[in-house]
Structure 1
Amino acid sequence: MLRPFFYLCSAGVALQACSPVGPDYTEPRIELPATFVNGGSTALQDASRTVWWSSFSDALLNDLVEIGLAQNLDIRTATERIRAARANIDRFGIPEQFDGGIAAEARRIDTPGGPIIEQSGGTADAFFVFDLFGRFTRSRQGAVADLEAVQFDAGTVRLAFLAEVIDAYNEARYYQAAAGITRQSIASRRQTLDLVQRRADAGEATALELAQARSLLATAEASLPILIGRYEENVFRIATLVAQPAALVKSRMDPARGQLRPRGGTATGIPADILRNRPDVRAAERSFAAATATVGVAEAETLPALSLSGFIAIGTNDTWSFGPTLFAPILNQPRLQANRRVAESNARQAELIWRSAVLNAVQDTQTALALTRQWQNQVAAFGRAVTASTEVLDLSTRAYDVGATTLLDVMDAERVIFENRLSQANAIRNWTSSYVQLQVGTGKGWLVGVNEIYVVDRRTRSTN
């Protein structure tokens, strides 16, 4: 009678060492251009640890980024997801194959008209499932890939935080600069009104000219409050991102520092670097690996399973049992086969999602590179326009003072210089914004200041 038991267990041990069923994962390949349009041909090394925002030479920005990387609630939530995924690995592999426990009990039984009976006993049971076709091996591989995907997802959250907090800072400094330009325009238009008033008092200016000067001043004054409101809106946005009181952040932001201007290079590396540097792309690839492992799990579930179980009971009647069980899924095969086909489709979808992520990342980088260069050109052009319009205003004001031109010429010159200066400030904002998107698009900075929890432990790839 022991021979069937011996044969089953020997077969189980032998099959335990066999290769798992299902497809073995291989990293996908995709054809990409050798270079970005108008980009370099040098690979981008260690992009994830590049502190690119320091090139703005803004100490306050650097401080806010450092605080936010440590305190931002989205980043902290993503870190907790990593811890959960790391703990989840311990549920798969060999831990799935074992089950069982020990139970003990003691009772006092009062029988009617009889003595009190005391009973005690205990039971112990154990259950082990052989990994005949690699079901548990594949499930652990999937859990490890899920962990890696979550780690890269956390990197994506960090990268998104960098983009958002620097964008908010850029917006705040733009509106602060625009409010400053508007105040200067108000001061200039007050001077014009004073000039018209003096000429009117001397009988050299009409009431219409005086009304026009007042209207011009009122228009400038009306545009100031919303600029201040937009500045404060972005300050409060920064406060939320870095998880600090709004009043504290505002007190630090209120002193004007000028707008952010890109001072670093626009190195993009080559499109193939996207596969290594962008955490969202790497997360998509790891999700594809997890989906591939799930195919193996689903296929193994369609095949027979061999288990070994034992039971011991100690008490009034001591008993024990021990032996193997071979189970072949037959009547539920249609459902198991459907599960396998669904898993195969999910794996194909995961690969397509990865390919889409790669192409979108390349597009993001290429677009940001093009816009960064063109906004820089526009900033230079508006700089020339501001210089020219400043000269026009100075000449127009002098000519009006001596009666050689009309007030309309002065008002038009004031309007043009005001618009040019605001347009230049807006171009600087857009230049900086596209530069930030370029850095984010190439995957720079998401590993700055992180601890070991973001580092994939390759040892977890084992099945034990």
Structure 2
Amino acid sequence: MQVHQTCCRAAFGLLVASLLTSCAAVSEYMENGFKVGPTYSRPLVPVADDWIDGENAALEGSSSDLAEWWTVFEDETLNRLVQDAYDQSLTIRTAGLRVMEARAQRRIAAGSIFPQGQEAIGSLQHFQLSEQVSNQAYADKHFSQWNLGGGLFWELDFWGRFRRAIEAADANVDASIEDYDHALVLLIAEVAGTYIEYRTFEQQLVYARENIVTQEESVRVARLQREAGRENSEIDLPMSLSNLRRSEAIIPALQTALRVAQNRLCILLGEPPHLLQELLDATQSIPSPSPSVVLGVPADLVRRRPDVRRAERELAAQSAQIGIAVSDLLPQISVTGSIFVDANQFADMFGGRALSGAVGPDIHWNILNYGRIVNNIDVQDLRFEQLVNEYQQSTLKAAEEAENAVVQFLNSKNEVDRLALSAEEAGNARDVVLEKYTTGKIGFTAVFILESLVLEQQNALALAQGRQANSLVQVYKALGGGWELRLNRAELVTDQVPEVPIEPEEIDQP
């Protein structure tokens, strides 16, 4: 039974080989540049014709330049933070080192084109024959043997196996660069988002302190009213103190949030947590987003987002792996050779009579392993199909993230506008009732309610302004903006790590 299975495998192997040498296979083989396996082409991906809110006046469909999108906030501190993060981030350095690793792997693959095995041998042996036994054949009992030579083994890339490996390595280099770009997109968005969060907490702190000043005045008036013996004044002072203590309690929580955001910025900058007074000392307002955003068209996501491009490059690398697997079906054709010189005297080594050598072809064919080889082809093909689905899924996810960010950006403006009006009206009402309470025209209940409402509305306004600014950050992040920052510099050099190339290098084809 085992012999029968072995014969069947051998027959199947011969059948496959004969099919590969058919006219159609030969034609495809030549069109592929004398390489077996599929010719890679980028799969189609589902892309919408336009954005869901494409008719909104705040969205522009023209071609967009997102190279330095954070500058739309016109905030010099943010600009400096982004640049410092790019210069110092350990995450970016790690991604850059992965690019270097992929390029080294590519050079290893390129080396397979050339002779894979080489050796050089040299020896000197001195012989002394025994005088106590019969050695009549050797007149000279003392002589030397000089030997020098070398050999090589060269598997010819007849079916394109090594060239497919180079294709896969090239695609992996591209994927590593896209991974670097994706890390840069995420870093810039996180720096901007954390900075906006910091300014939001800072604005809430400003509102809290302003309300404390107003509420301290209410406490002063309530104390005077009680001293004057005004009716029901005995409950006014506790109520006013309750508002004041609640506002004061907000301060430590906001200070903690500020420190946490500041520490996060330090880590993003590649620095240990420390105070950033020099950079964040001046109290500034929450960055104000631009009233409109240039989106381009949904199809731009496929071209612009590094994570989508990375998925496509991984797909191209896997396509080349199929060709490598197919090449195992065919015989491996090699050339082996050796050359040696042998002589008893060193001076005689370079004469023609000392020369010897051999050269010839070598054919290795895994005829009896076709079950394993064919199944490996299936494995590589199924991995390719999985990556096709992942690539298409990445484009859908990119579109989802972009649409979600866009609708948040559009609606956040209405939220901020209405909360700003609400906070303003609440403040006006508080001032009126506080004046009337001071003159004894009304009780303290209205003051108590409106003081609480003002603080609540101002906090809501600050949070909404932060969400509005961050929604624009998320739009640019979803569009894949910011990776172009690396194009301004050919390399990243530091005192702690070696040069990290971030530009696609020219790769010589062997």
Q: Counterparts of 1:110 and 1:409 in 2: how far apart (Å)?
A: 117
Mapped pair 1:163 → 2:189: yes
Mapped pair 1:63 → 2:77: no
Q: Counterparts of 1:122 and 1:184 in 2: how far apart (Å)?
A: 92
3-state SS of 2:108 partner: coil
Q: Counterparts of 1:447 and 1:93 in 2: how far apart (Å)?
A: 29
1:350 maps to what in 2? Answer: 387
Gapped regions of structure 1 (runs ≥ 5): 1-10
Q: Specify the code of the residue in structure 1 equivalent to 2:283.
A: A
Mapped pair 1:23 → 2:38: yes
Q: Counterparts of 1:41 and 1:201 in 2: how far apart (Å)?
A: 64
Q: Deviations over 1:74-133 (max 9, x none)?
A: 111111111221222222246344223343444677989889986653331111111121
3-state SS of 1:331 partner: helix
Q: Counterparts of 2:63 and 2:204 in 1: how far apart (Å)?
A: 36
Q: 1:203 to 1:45 in 2, by over 3 A?
A: closer
Q: 1:243 to 1:454 in 2, by over 3 A?
A: closer
Are the counterparts in 1 of residues 46 and 392 from structure 2 also a CA contact under 8 Å? no
2:233 maps to what in 1? Answer: 206
Mapped pair 1:42 → 2:79: no
1:90 maps to what in 2? Answer: 107
2:47 maps to what in 1? Answer: 32
Q: Counterparts of 1:190 and 1:45 in 2: how far apart (Å)?
A: 51
3-state SS of 2:367 partner: coil
Q: 1:82 to 1:106 in 2, by over 3 A?
A: same
1:265 offset after TM fit, Å?
A: 2.7
User: Structure 1 residues 54-63 or 318-327, which shifts more?
Assistant: 318-327
3-state SS of 2:302 partner: helix
Alignment equivalent of 2:165, drawn from 113, 119, 139: 139
Q: Counterparts of 1:276 and 1:43 in 2: how far apart (Å)?
A: 15
Gapped regions of structure 2 (runs ≥ 5): 1-20, 22-28, 132-140, 344-353, 491-500
3-state SS of 1:34 partner: coil
Alignment equivalent of 2:293, drawn from 245, 266, 269: 266
1:389 offset after TM fit, Å?
A: 0.4
Q: Specify the code of the residue in structure 2 equivalent to 1:260.
A: P
Are the counterparts in 1 of residues 109 and 165 from structure 2 also a CA contact under 8 Å? yes
Q: Counterparts of 1:128 and 1:135 in 2: how far apart (Å)?
A: 13
Q: Specify the code of the residue in structure 2 equivalent to 1:436.
A: V
How many aligned residue pairs are there? 447
Question: What is the TM-score when the length of structure 2 is the normalising length?
Answer: 0.82
Q: 1:286 to 1:18 in 2, by over 3 A?
A: closer
1:332 maps to what in 2? Answer: 369
Q: Specify the code of the residue in structure 1 equivalent to 2:100.
A: R
1:174 maps to what in 2? Answer: 200
1:251 offset after TM fit, Å?
A: 3.7
1:353 offset after TM fit, Å?
A: 0.7
Q: Counterparts of 1:276 and 1:25 in 2: how far apart (Å)?
A: 18
3-state SS of 1:310 partner: strand
2:323 maps to what in 1? Answer: 296
1:3 maps to what in 2? Answer: none
Q: 1:393 to 1:337 in 2, by over 3 A?
A: same
Alignment equivalent of 1:53, drawn from 52, 66, 70: 70
Q: Counterparts of 1:402 and 1:346 in 2: how far apart (Å)?
A: 81
3-state SS of 1:247 partner: coil
1:386 offset after TM fit, Å?
A: 1.1
Q: Counterparts of 2:279 and 2:411 in 1: how far apart (Å)?
A: 32
Q: 1:45 to 1:401 in 2, by over 3 A?
A: closer
1:437 maps to what in 2? Answer: 474
1:30 offset after TM fit, Å?
A: 2.1
3-state SS of 1:308 partner: strand
Are the counterparts in 1 of residues 64 and 295 from structure 2 also a CA contact under 8 Å? no
1:231 offset after TM fit, Å?
A: 0.6
1:36 offset after TM fit, Å?
A: 0.4
1:249 offset after TM fit, Å?
A: 2.3
3-state SS of 1:306 partner: strand
Q: Specify the code of the residue in structure 2 equivalent to 1:358.
A: T
Q: Counterparts of 1:397 and 1:296 in 2: how far apart (Å)?
A: 82
Are the counterparts in 2 of residues 372 and 435 from structure 1 also a CA contact under 8 Å? yes
3-state SS of 1:332 partner: helix
Are the counterparts in 2 of residues 310 and 321 from structure 1 also a CA contact under 8 Å? yes
Are the counterparts in 1 of residues 46 and 395 from structure 2 also a CA contact under 8 Å? no
Alignment equivalent of 1:232, drawn from 259, 284, 293: 259
Using the aligned pairs only, state the percent identity.
Answer: 25
Are the counterparts in 2 of residues 97 and 136 from structure 1 also a CA contact under 8 Å? no
CA-based RMSD of the aligned residues comes to 2.5
Are the counterparts in 2 of residues 196 and 209 from structure 1 also a CA contact under 8 Å? yes
Are the counterparts in 1 of residues 308 and 395 from structure 2 also a CA contact under 8 Å? yes
Question: What is the TM-score when the length of structure 1 is the normalising length?
Answer: 0.90
Q: Counterparts of 1:112 and 1:222 in 2: how far apart (Å)?
A: 103
User: Structure 1 residues 399-408 or 93-102, which shifts more?
Assistant: 93-102
Are the counterparts in 2 of residues 235 and 250 from structure 1 also a CA contact under 8 Å? no
Q: Counterparts of 1:292 and 1:393 in 2: how far apart (Å)?
A: 70
Q: Counterparts of 2:402 and 2:33 in 1: how far apart (Å)?
A: 45
Q: Specify the code of the residue in structure 2 equivalent to 1:44.
A: S
Q: Counterparts of 2:142 and 2:199 in 1: how far apart (Å)?
A: 86
Mapped pair 1:121 → 2:140: no
Q: 1:125 to 1:62 in 2, by over 3 A?
A: same
Q: 1:46 to 1:425 in 2, by over 3 A?
A: closer
Q: Counterparts of 1:56 and 1:45 in 2: how far apart (Å)?
A: 16
Alignment equivalent of 1:287, drawn from 292, 314, 330: 314
User: Structure 1 residues 427-436 or 213-222, which shifts more?
Assistant: 213-222
Q: Counterparts of 2:214 and 2:142 in 1: how far apart (Å)?
A: 106
Q: 1:221 to 1:109 in 2, by over 3 A?
A: farther
Q: 1:112 to 1:421 in 2, by over 3 A?
A: farther
Are the counterparts in 1 of residues 336 and 361 from structure 2 also a CA contact under 8 Å? yes
Are the counterparts in 2 of residues 43 and 273 from structure 1 also a CA contact under 8 Å? no
User: Structure 1 residues 397-406 or 109-118, which shifts more?
Assistant: 109-118
Are the counterparts in 2 of residues 41 and 270 from structure 1 also a CA contact under 8 Å? no
